[in-house]
């Protein structure tokens, strides 16, 4: 079972390759979109690279829940409602959503996910 540090190093390598960022930019607290400049297409690329690096399968929407964030059932006036937040939490138990809950605007979600969330997600998949 890989250690947290081993997972972090492989996640870092995947992000460096996918996003063209420098290694020292990929800190645990760096946000995927705000700090590392990830765009939606990059998340698909990152999924490919994490699957390969760790030998895991990542179902669509699990790492980046674009379907929840674009659902008319969950979003009104650009903000996620209570049901949407519950759906997001159920989908992403690995992510720290406390800051996002304070201001659950869809636009704000982009700056919620961090590198550490990616690491925790992989940990949940490999049982590390």
Q: Which is nearer to other proteins, 42 or 116 (CB)?
A: 42
On the 0-12 / 13-18 / 19+ scale of CB atoms within 10 A, 76 is exposed
Q: Which is nearer to other proteins, 48 or 73 (CB)?
A: 48
- CA proximity to 112, closest of 123, 103, 99: 99
- The rounded distance, in Å, linking the Cα atoms of 112 and 26 is 15
Q: Which is nearer to other proteins, 14 or 113 (CB)?
A: 14
Instruction: Check: CB of residue 46 under 8 Å from CB of residue 39.
Output: no
Q: In the bound complex, what is the minimum distance in angstroms from residue 45's beta carbon to other proteins?
A: 5
Q: In the bound complex, what is the minimum distance in angstroms from residue 84's beta carbon to other proteins?
A: 22
Q: In the bound complex, what is the minimum distance in angstroms from residue 121's beta carbon to other proteins?
A: 18
Q: In the bound complex, what is the minimum distance in angstroms from residue 48's beta carbon to other proteins?
A: 5
Instruction: Check: CB of residue 114 under 8 Å from CB of residue 30.
Output: yes
| Binding footprint of other proteins on the chain (CB under 8 A) | 17-18, 20, 41-42, 44-45, 48, 51-52, 60
């Amino acid at each position: 079972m890989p250690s947290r540090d081993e997972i972090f190093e492989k996640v870092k390598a995947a992000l460096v390759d996918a996003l063209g960022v420098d290694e020292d930019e990929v800190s645990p607290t760096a946000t995927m979109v705000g700090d590392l400049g990830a765009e939606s297409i990059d998340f698909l690329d990152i999924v490919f690279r994490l699957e390969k690096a760790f030998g895991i399968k990542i179902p669509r929407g699990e790492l980046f829940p674009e379907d929840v964030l674009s659902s008319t059932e969950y979003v009104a006036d650009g903000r996620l409602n209570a049901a949407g937040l519950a759906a997001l939490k159920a989908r992403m138990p690995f992510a720290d959503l406390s800051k996002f809950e304070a201001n659950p605007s869809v636009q704000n979600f982009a700056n919620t996910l961090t590198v550490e969330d990616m690491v925790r997600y992989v940990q949940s998949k490999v049982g590390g």
